A and B are shown apart, each in its own frame.
Chain A
Amino acid sequence: MDYAVVVIIEVLYAISVLALISAGLAVIFGMMRVINLAHGEFLVLGSYAAIFSNRYGVPIYLAILVAAPLAGAVWGFIVERLIVRWLYGRLINTMLATWGLSLAMMGAFVMIFGNTQTGISAPIAGFTVGAYQINGYNLFIIAMAIVVMAGLYAVMKGTRAGLVARAAMQRPDMAQAFGYNTSQVYMWTFVAGSALAGLAGGILTPIFGAIPSGGANYIAKAFITVITGGASVVSGTLASASILGLVYQIFTFLSTSVVGEIALLIAAVVLLRILPTGITGRFLRNRV
């Protein structure tokens, strides 16, 4: 019984991690068709922002939930103005440019923070479920994933800003005809996606720490989750994170994390073979 509870929490945790690391990429890719290959480094940037603001006296929750996304947003703003805005509609070019950006950011992290792993301790103590001890911070991650996804849905569906953003993505000409500056809309969407990446990096710091090369571990999983999810930002990410997280964690429990990762990749390949446009290409269409 207690073992079942532990496994369920771990599965929810795996799903939440996937959803968090993919949310920012999903916003940027799902809405703007820009593939940000520096997404992993944006997460690492959030981690460093959380760690160093915490070291200089910012309370840990503020560091994770405010400093990290703020760093992501500011950096996203700079990157969008300097690089990405010149490349809208040129998928391959954005990939190449952001890949270069990812290498540059990695090098900068090494120069500034040194080539070592740094981190912060989890602010929540572990707790007991029957005979098992569980990382209390896992529950915080699950809660944050729910908050982020619900918040994203609410903004996209319920606010004027979300409506305008969706309109500008679907029919930029019409949005412009209604008097909206699509260039501004793109910019703020990219900033929002970057902030989400920074936030995810901040939230995951007590679990994964920060290391200059750490982005590579995030980008592959985030990318697979977003592509498998398809065009819809919230429902697509949730659907694919749930399937892939479940597969990963079940196989990790049955065998090792290596087998878990293999199972995740196989699941993604099979899903994309059956549903080439992603899960939301067929099901849950026209949802956010």
Chain B
Amino acid sequence: MKLSRRNLLKGSAAAGALAALPPMAIADDVIKVGSIHDLSGIFDIYGKPMDKAVGLVIDEINAGGGLLGMKLEKISYDTQSDMALYTQYAQQLTRQDHVNVVHGGILSASREAIRPTLRKAETLYFYNTQYEGGVCDRNIFCTGVTPAQQSEVLLPAIINKWGKKIYSLAADYNYGQITAKWVQHYAQANGGEIVQTDFFPLDVADFGATITKIQEAKPDIVMSILVGGAHMSFYRQWAAAGMNAKIPMASTTLCVGNEHRVLTPAEGNGIMVAYSWSQERDTTENKAFLEKWQKAFGSTDDLHELAVATYSGMNLWAEGVRKAGSVDRMKVIEALETGISFEGPAGKITIDPPTHHAINDVLLMQVEDQKMKVLEVFPQRPPVDTQAVCDLKKNPDDNQQYEIKI
């Protein structure tokens, strides 16, 4: 066809007519999955693999013929580590794209930015991140581990192994403050004692005086709830002072962004952590998953806990849709509330119906030569922190984040 003015006009008229069709008319034969993560900026180390995990599950499901006979379509937005963009893109996902489900959000601030929008627009929301617990909202499902799940496993282990006196160092924002309380709670419950908790803003990078103060307090264990790039200096300075050979350390945050690969073996070895996943967990599902990831993206180096939780969250949602036989929001929620499980790289994950949180396997691990060596598997740990305050069966209209009192 020659590109004449008449043809061009005809063509654009047709295109215009197509664009003017209501979006719902096209949406019938695809299921739209919204992915909202930080793919650039300071949190991209967390967000990029999470977004990849969403894509991987979609490709898997589409290769197997889709969901309820419909293809999945991924609609992804990069929030650029900017909390304001979360609100904007959440509205775009619900109002323009009319997605059936949204997976995403990393920091607690980002989750709280989009949770009300998605609830109001009646769009199902999956938050697949380790966080401080307590969110109670029937529209959201949280598949990451919460502090009680981590601390409940970690503290008895370190107290039995190393001693009772614990010195905590925590990042000074809501995650650090709340997690420090949980650490205190489980330390006391297991006969331990917190001799001191110091809080640090996220940009503090000089820990010389702190290291001296820790030595003055003479604890048996140092507990790190430090977050982000600047705080990484602590582990280096601790090792440079030769302290890593003298006082053992545990952490609720190290390794989430693969920090154990940034530290040298001498700096990281021996640090005890507890999460729901490890590259080194020896199960057939995990190996199959690592192979799939390797094949899809060329390397498993960027893979971390949060990406695996996203992979599980996507699969749990798909399972819910299959069981409901529909993508209708309430039907899927009710299906998920029957306590759906998924067997995957992180073992078995089950939705806990009253809290919409996940019952996870928790692994007690020790950093060894830049790897996370699994010491013990604690299967099927319930989210007791949120269970204590939230019951969506009794109060289905509850909509708040509970602050846990200790």
Contact = CB atoms under 8 A, between A and B. Distances in A.
A213 B236 contact: no
Contacts of A128: 242
A202 interface: no
Interface string B105-141: 0000000000000000000000000000000000000
B265 to A, nearest CB: 10
A121 interface: yes
A93 interface: no
A118 B262 contact: yes
B240 A217 contact: no
A132 B240 CA distance: 13
Interface stretch (A5-13, A31-39, A266-274): A5-13
B210 interface: yes
Contacts of A89: none
Contacts of B211: 133, 135
B242 A257 contact: no
Given A10-B212, A119-B262, A253-B212, A208 B206 contact: yes
A219 to B, nearest CB: 12
B242 A125 contact: yes
Contacts, number: 115
A162 interface: no
Interface in A56-105: none
A46 interface: no
B209 A119 contact: no
Contacts of A258: 172, 199-201, 204
Contacts of B215: 131-133
Interface string A204-230: 001111010110110000000000000
Contact of B213 (A124, A131, A209, A253): A253
B242 A217 contact: no
B240 A126 contact: yes
Given A122-B236, A217-B203, A133 B209 contact: no
B2 interface: no
A207 B198 contact: no
Contact of B240 (A10, A117, A122, A216): A122
A54 to B, nearest CB: 12
Given A115-B45, A133-B241, A6 B233 contact: no
B239 interface: yes
Contact of A126 (B200, B204, B205, B242): B242
Contacts of B213: 253
Nearest to A123: B240
Given A132-B212, A253-B213, A137 B204 contact: no
A173 B258 CA distance: 58
Given A127-B242, A135-B211, A207 B262 contact: no
A119 B236 contact: yes
Interface in B204-227: 204-213, 215-216
A283 interface: no
A5 to B, nearest CB: 11
A217 B246 CA distance: 30
Given A6-B212, A131-B215, A256 B199 contact: yes
B243 interface: yes
B209 A10 contact: yes
Which of A124, A135, A207, A256 has the largest count of B CB atoms less than 10 A from its CB? A135
B236 A207 contact: yes
Contacts of A217: 203, 205, 230
A119 B232 contact: yes
Contact of A121 (B44, B259, B264): B264
21 contacts: A10-B209, A115-B42, A115-B44, A117-B232, A121-B267, A122-B236, A124-B240, A132-B212, A133-B211, A133-B241, A133-B243, A133-B246, A134-B241, A208-B206, A208-B233, A211-B229, A211-B230, A216-B203, A217-B230, A257-B200, A257-B207
